[in-house]
A and B are shown apart, each in its own frame.
Chain A
Amino acid sequence: MDLQSIIDTLELEVITQPKDFAGMFPTSGYTSDLLSCAMAGARKDGVWITLQSHDNIVAVAALLDLAAIIITEDARPEESTVARANSKNITLLCTSQPTFSIVGKLWEMGLRSE
């Protein structure tokens, strides 16, 4: 499944620069609000679902080569964080939905932990 259909189905808001999301295929999902857990558990080309929205999530995503971060429960990153994500080519997606719903829907769409 491509990232564009994830964005459409889950009604996610793209807050970083648009990309060819239809040509990106996330291979797995991971969720935790603890950065070290994400560091250990999230996989390359995966999506990470968290309600953390501060600067350091960008570093985590860049180091792990994640496809995107889905930020839940209306947490909004600062503009400087968005700018940093753009410079590191990281995609940030926002939603008002809680993490549990997002993870449930992604699972229904066929995304697995690895």
Chain B
Amino acid sequence: MDKKSDQELNITNQVTENITPAEELAYELHIEEVMSREILSLYPDMQMQEALEFFRTHHISGAPVISRDGDLIGVLSMEDLIRALRVTDLEAPVEKYMSVQLISVRGKDPVVEALKKFVTKSVGRLPVIDDAGNLIGILTKGDITRGLLKALQRDYQVEEVRRYRARHLFEDIVSDRTSLILRYNIKAHDFTRGGAASTNIKRALLRLGASPQLARRVGIAIYEAEMNLIIHTTYGGIIRVEIEPHQISIDVYDDGPGIKDVNLAMKPGYSTATEEVRELGFGAGMGLVNISRCVDQMKLESVLQKGTRLRLKIFLKQNEIVGEGYPANRENS
């Protein structure tokens, strides 16, 4: 990376820092999604007087100048008009005052590229071109703001609706004891899917209104259990998570091969993982230890040749309750 682009990047970062929630969107959204497609353009041989009228009737403060063949040849701004007004030269053709130093952006580029140009080139509007160089739209900072706000609102609404629905689950459904059960089938030796179940459970908890700390704690415990099923079982196993407003119960079970010595398995650093698995970074002998650190209650039972069952419980404190608690007996939960 050369010095110059380095500098540009820094300026952009400063700018985007001011709009931090929108920052990611500036990378995701493309210029053609936020630009104005209605192109109000001028011809080079029009008089400045006509341009002034044009600006006034359309309530704009600048426009691209296009040749009779349709090529983009310049941009005329209010500043250019003022320069002409100052010397009472409104009879002059647009091409005399227009800016010909063409700074344009491509429609397929992310919005952040346009932000960089706005900051470094101090222009008010940018012509947007396609890959062939044809003018396809006009972009102002206002277009970007509107586009980002719209996209933010869209993202926000989708997630809000999901969270709202999930959070009210326990309140909306009346029973003496409501719980939500999530079940995941884990395949043996399927390392590419490793962490999928725990990541999904973490997201479910966040949507239900759990605190990020609680979601992380449960996620870690389930990740270790999930990896144990992948690494050690013969045919895989099942993770069952029961979520209630006051507690989370996790049941992980498989049908073999079973653990020879449960107490030894619980010892930090003890592992029966193969060399191959260890090369992937597993088999540290810390999985069960990590789990016990994350949960309030842990029960591990195993019968050799039969299978293993791991039961975990996390009790939620009043300020941690998932959902909105039971409406009827919230005090007891």
Contacts and interface: CB of A to CB of B under 8 A. Distances in A.
A4 B220 CA distance: 28
A65 B281 contact: no
A19 B24 contact: yes
B27 A18 contact: yes
Interface band, chain A? 20 to 34
A73 B199 CA distance: 28
A56 B191 contact: yes
B16 A52 contact: no
Contacts of A80: 192
Secondary structure call for the A interface: helix
B14 A22 contact: yes
B195 interface: yes
A40 B293 CA distance: 9
Interface residues of B, number: 36
Given A22-B10, A22-B14, A22-B17, A63 B198 contact: yes
A64 B281 contact: no
Given A19-B23, A39-B224, A56-B195, 15 more contacts: A4-B13, A18-B27, A20-B24, A23-B20, A33-B281, A35-B280, A36-B224, A36-B227, A37-B284, A56-B280, A59-B199, A60-B195, A63-B195, A63-B219, A88-B199
Interface of B: 6, 10, 13-14, 16-17, 20, 23-24, 27, 191-192, 194-196, 198-199, 202, 212, 216, 219-220, 223-224, 227, 280-287, 289-290, 293
Of all A-B residue pairs in the complex, the 7 with the closest CB atoms, nearest first, are A59-B195, A34-B284, A22-B13, A36-B286, A36-B284, A63-B219, A52-B281
